[in-house]
A = this chain, B = another copy of it.
Amino acid sequence: MNFTCTRKKLQEAINSVSKAISNNPIMPVLGNIFLKAKDGQIIFRGYDLEIGIEHIENAEVIEEGEVLVNSKLFSDIVRNLGEEEAKIFTEDNKLVIISGNAIFNIRWLETAAFPKLPDVEKDNKVTLKTEYLKNMIRNTLFSVSTSEQRLILTGALFESEENCFKMITLDSFRMSIRKEYILGNDEVFKFVIPGKTLNELLKLMTNDDEEIRVYYETTQVLFEFGNCKFISKLLQGEYFNYKAIIPKEFITKIEVDVNEFREIIERNMLVSDDGRKAPLVLEINDNILTANTQGEAGNVTETLYIKKDGKDMRIGFNAKYLLDAIKSVNEEKVRISFMGETNACVITPLNSDEFLYLILPVRISS
């Protein structure tokens, strides 16, 4: 193998594939980057058996070939190369990297031991703008379940509805739904993507205007965008029937300013050890929302002017769950709808159904 490539391209490729390389790989061979020079291209691969990433860069290939190199060492070296084109070639059992006056010799391994990335059939395809997929992931990922008790809930449900795509996550305390309207889509699909996959995918989708092609089978999915192919397993099983728990009737609805409300929640969390130790109590009286937390070390009370429709009421929440939802809202104002002190509240936009956050209350003393 023998090729020359710029540091910038090498770094981009390594940055991509390293998302699928663990610091403590379950098999030593998976701590390597797979490198293949062929037809004027360098193919980089990383694989942790759950996620596989392939990244391709154009380069001047002098001699074709393929090797495995230690991911950490190779990326450390590339990060420290000069601006010149790097020459990279095998010489006996060494991979030689020459950049400027620096000559590195590192070990390389045969590629035979590296597991093959799964093939994903391209029969079923969904295409959308990267920006839309990013929005859906960002606005729901925080409420993916972290409990291994119901594995299916550690993923996000990605499904189509008429003219829109939806992403849904839920744990035992809250649910997040994010919709993107995709006019003219006639693809019907429904599958559950692991939270870890979405987390890594989010880091790699840097170009908002780019198209992303999503190919799915029953057990796996392939995301294609830019120079990247990103393959992941899908979670198997029936997802929770989330529509059944979306409340329809409310006794109180309020409209709050998102920034003001976020700051109030943050200040309340100061005395409750980030929401873990004492509930945030919301009290609605006419057009005043009072937020209060009685922590061990102190207490905080704050009022906010609101628009209100319905009854006065009083309800307690884990402040962290409210904050997660409010922080992901990209609107000036939101509606919060209540069904009573012991039922979930629902946070929605004023004039659309783009998102819905459902949060269960916590018991408070009266």
Q: How many copies does the complex hold?
A: 2
Contact A73 B267 (CB under 8 A): no
**Cβ < 8 Å to B, chain A residues 253-279:** 263-264, 266-267, 270-271
Contact A297 B80 (CB under 8 A): no
Contact B103 A301 (CB under 8 A): yes
Contact B297 A101 (CB under 8 A): no
Q: How far is the CA of A304 from the CA of B104 in the complex (A)?
A: 15
A303 in contact with B263 given A77-B270, A106-B298, A297-B73 (CB within 8 Å): no
Contact B302 A101 (CB under 8 A): yes
Q: How far is the CA of A73 from the CA of B298 in the complex (A)?
A: 9
**Cβ < 8 Å to B, chain A residues 295-317:** 297-304
Cβ proximity bits A88-130 to B, threshold 8 Å, 1 near / 0 not = 0000001000000111111100000000000000000000000
Q: How far is the CA of A4 from the CA of B177 in the complex (A)?
A: 45
**Cβ < 8 Å to B, chain A residues 228-285:** 263-264, 266-267, 270-271
How many of chain A's residues have a CB under 8 angstroms from any CB in B? 28
Question: Nearest Cβ in chain B — how far from A328, in angstroms?
Answer: 20
Q: Which residues of B contact A77 (CB under 8 A)?
A: 267, 270, 300
Question: Nearest Cβ in chain B — how far from A56, in angstroms?
Answer: 25
Question: Nearest Cβ in chain B — how far from A282, in angstroms?
Answer: 14
**Closest residue of B by beta carbon distance from A288:** B101
Q: How far is the CA of A73 from the CA of B299 in the complex (A)?
A: 11
Of B70, B101, B263, the contact of A80 (CB 8 Å cutoff): B263
Q: Which residues of B contact A73 (CB under 8 A)?
A: 270-271, 297-298
Interface membership of A148, Cβ < 8 A: no
Q: How far is the CA of A240 from the CA of B303 in the complex (A)?
A: 63
Q: Which residues of B contact A105 (CB under 8 A)?
A: 298-301
Interface centre among A70, A107, A266, A297 (most CB of B within 10 A): A297
Question: Nearest Cβ in chain B — how far from A72, in angstroms?
Answer: 9
**Closest residue of B by beta carbon distance from A69:** B298
6 contacts between A and B (CB under 8 A): A77-B267, A80-B270, A103-B302, A104-B267, A104-B298, A104-B300
